Amino acid sequence: VAASAVQFAPQIAPIVNELQLYQRTANWVVPKENTPYTKDQLEYFRQHPEAVEQSREEIYKVWNTLATFGDKEVLADIEAAGLERINSVNDPEVRRKLTPNHPFGCKRPLFSDLYYPMFNRGNVNLITDDIKRISESGIVTTDGVEREVDTIIYSTGFYTTSYLTALDVTGRDGLHIKDAWKDGAQAYLGMNTTGFPNLFMLYGPNTNQGCILYMLEQQVAYVMRQIKRMNTENLAWMDIRSDVMASFNEKLQNDIAKVDVWQAECGNEFYYRAPSGRLVTQWPHSMDEFMLQTSRDNTTDFDVEVIA
């Protein structure tokens, strides 16, 4: 089960006659803790704006630690919270089917306060037999059972390892970026790739971590500094040096290899990894570390040409 189903299934369960949820693999769905603020809390925030900043900092610290997936104690606590929610499901067989057999973080983490309680509704059925085909009137599973349905909602995910596929980006000497990345996308700080001068990407390879809005803010600030440099120094183009990008990505992959949950067997090769096996989606360090690396002076990391 993936993020889309976790979000829409609890919303439609109360309004449909029957909800059949077809699950290929159980995943961890842990508490989201996203309850609305009360009127009293909102009034307190209005009177004490410093409390808003303090609350934000506390949330940031949690995500800054969690998203590295390197703290085994934190991961164990999260799994315990997930199991507690699973145990709230009344039917023991459904509980068994909902219990993951892989560590938290091996697949994309899921957060919801509504998903597991949904299975205590009488009109929700969890089906774990593989889907064989879709018939004229319903869904046929490998056990030969055909279940009639009115509507099918696909929650089959997307290709997270494919970057810039909607664009035909061409660099030096006619090199297409899809060819440069045939063994998996890679970039310097997720934003620059050698052979493609003046190309800056947001949410590029290996920049998925914690709060993506924060990560994007750091990337935008980085790109703006490079554009300012181009204007100040009258540069025609700038291109990340090949040795710099190679060194950066070698260390990056070595650090990724140290994150145990990303090496576990759980079918994540389709989500995190390119066909070559290279993990191309995740940033293995904290958001603070990304901010530091994107903030430093890296003028010597680029080949440049001044406008004549």
Per-domain residue ranges of the chain: 3-148, 172-306
Please give the pLDDT value at position 73: 87
Partnered with residue 275 across adjacent β-strands are none
Please give the pLDDT value at position 270: 66
Partnered with residue 301 across adjacent β-strands are none
Q: Which residues of the chain have pLDDT under 70?
A: 268-270
30 φ, ψ to 5°? Answer: -105, 165
What's the rounded Cα separation, in Å, for the pair 61 and 210?
A: 10
Q: Does domain 172-306 have CATH number 3.20.20.70?
A: no
Nearby residues of 257 by Cβ (< 8 Å), 6 or more positions away: 263
Angle between helices 287-295 and 49-66 (to 10 degrees): 90
Q: What is the dihedral of CA 197, 198, 202, 208, to 10 degrees?
A: 30
Residues 159, 265, 65, 279, CA torsion sign: negative
Read off the amino acid at residue 39.
K
Nearby residues of 269 by Cβ (< 8 Å), 6 or more positions away: 277
Read off the amino acid at residue 85.
R
Question: Residue written as tokens 């090769």?
Answer: 269
Measured in whole angstroms, the distance separating CA 183 from the mean position of its chain's CA atoms is 20
Please give the pLDDT value at position 33: 80
